[in-house]
Chains A and B, each alone.
Chain A
């Protein structure tokens, strides 16, 4: 009987749960799904991470290549993120050029990297004006069950922390780059931005970490990206119902708690990794 009601009136079915301050999967309104992270699984990439937020799974692979630095900033490298939403992850995506959701997610990740300054582009420069690293960060969603942006930012952060770049010296005589694959060093990841997404219901209720179903029923969404100093790198609210300042404050405090949880998990994972 409940299944019938859910098909006919999904929003009303959902509201019954929200009235009791819980959700159909048993979580509370402010509770995240089980987060797991697996680092360094792709051996052909310079850095990789797989993040699972409940059912949502995103894998990030980072490849480093050489490029000439941009002419207007000869001492900077590049970080190029790309989010791919293949038909594998959800029936709403078709194969072909990236759709709107993939492009918006790519732009969001690029903004997070730019705003939080997690990688200083100057650190990626090998020889000013001649050679710099370009980091291609490919994020592929393997299973899309809501809250894509949180999973993407977390996967990117973990993958970048996993990246090991070989030492490069420019040979003075031949002016060619010599790569020493035996000597690798980690990237200097300066800040750790963590995203927290909310779904807005009926203009007043905010639930954390929405699943795919909840995102479809919600009136609006809100994503906050915070770093460890409590600064907001991004306040992304693409339309939807109105929010008051007080509600925003609640979201900010929840985002701060989430940052602590994520940082703890990541530190545990990296500590447990055996050095290669």
Chain B
């Protein structure tokens, strides 16, 4: 594999026109991804969302400790290191969320009694950190060649005091918002894989619609692109 694949995804030139019913704040910050930048891990990726940057490395499928092995599928492990300080309880909670999301899409049954380790290092945090970690993890898993049934993407929304929805909030917007919601959606049917919320929001403000089929109002099903990567809601 030669060098690095720079996928500098340009943000949509028409800022959020599809979701204009939600207000002008539905555009994403400039995001970029670079794969295969580290030489030691089997797969690595760096995901950048505005000023938030996370570096992910994947080792696997590899040898697993007998105490941790599962007889019929791979054991997934996620290690999240914050930018400063030692990992604490909040990191453990995030690791659990990322691990469960990856377990839902990785075809662990193809590699029983092995371990797949995802190591995430926060380079800089300027809002939407968990979503950036999820995206970096997904791209690193792809780079490592781990078999998956779908790709997934992470997205953060913030609801401010008057109920307007903002996607991909910055750190300042997150602090001022009434509620911050992070979701992980899969790429095949846009179903909800993971969700975690912070703050209070009423049922009427929910960002998902109640109808069958359209899983999430913010991310209407993209048209099937021939061949190319249908990376869920972020790149369309």
Contacts and interface: CB of A to CB of B under 8 A. Distances in A.
Interface string B117-143: 000000000000000000000000000
A246 B212 contact: yes
B12 interface: no
B93 A104 contact: yes
8 contacts: A103-B92, A108-B93, A110-B89, A230-B203, A236-B196, A240-B194, A244-B191, A246-B211
B199 interface: yes
A172 B99 CA distance: 55
A171 B208 CA distance: 55
- Chain A interface, >50% SS class: mixed
A169 interface: no
Given A227-B200, A232-B203, A245-B211, 15 more contacts: A107-B92, A116-B200, A117-B200, A230-B203, A232-B200, A235-B181, A236-B196, A238-B194, A238-B196, A239-B101, A239-B184, A241-B104, A242-B104, A242-B193, A245-B192
Contacts of A100: 92, 95-96
Interface of B: 89-90, 92-93, 95-97, 99-104, 181, 184, 186, 189, 191-203, 206, 208-217
A232 B211 contact: no
Contact of B100 (A114, A203, A220): A220
Given A115-B199, A234-B197, A239 B93 contact: no
A233 B200 CA distance: 5
- Chain B interface, >50% SS class: mixed
A106 B199 CA distance: 17
A8 interface: no
A52 B33 CA distance: 49
Interface residues of A, number: 37
B92 A236 contact: no
Given A220-B100, A238-B97, A248-B192, A106 B89 contact: yes
B214 A245 contact: yes
A231 B90 CA distance: 24
Contact of B202 (A106, A220, A231, A235): A231
A168 interface: no
Top 10 closest pairs, chain A to chain B, by CB: A239-B100, A242-B191, A107-B93, A245-B208, A237-B195, A103-B92, A239-B101, A238-B100, A249-B210, A235-B197
A237 B200 contact: no
B200 A231 contact: yes
A236 B197 contact: yes
A107 B198 contact: no
A239 B200 CA distance: 21
Contacts of B197: 115, 232-236
Given A220-B100, A243-B191, A235 B196 contact: yes
A106 B95 CA distance: 14
Contacts of B209: 245
A252 interface: yes
A232 B202 contact: yes
A242 B202 contact: no
Contacts of B215: 242-245
A138 to B, nearest CB: 15
User: Which of A111, A114, A232 has the largest count of B CB atoms less than 10 A from its CB?
Assistant: A232
A248 B208 contact: yes
B193 A240 contact: yes
A22 B74 CA distance: 32
Given A100-B92, A103-B89, A115-B197, A239 B211 contact: no
A220 B102 CA distance: 12
A229 interface: yes
Interface in A72-113: 100, 103-104, 106-108, 110-111
Contacts of A234: 196-197
Contacts of B184: 239
B97 A239 contact: yes
A246 B215 CA distance: 8
B202 A229 contact: yes
Nearest to A237: B195
Contacts of B193: 237, 239-242
User: Which of A229, A240, A245, A252 has the largest count of B CB atoms less than 10 A from its CB?
Assistant: A245
A242 B97 CA distance: 14
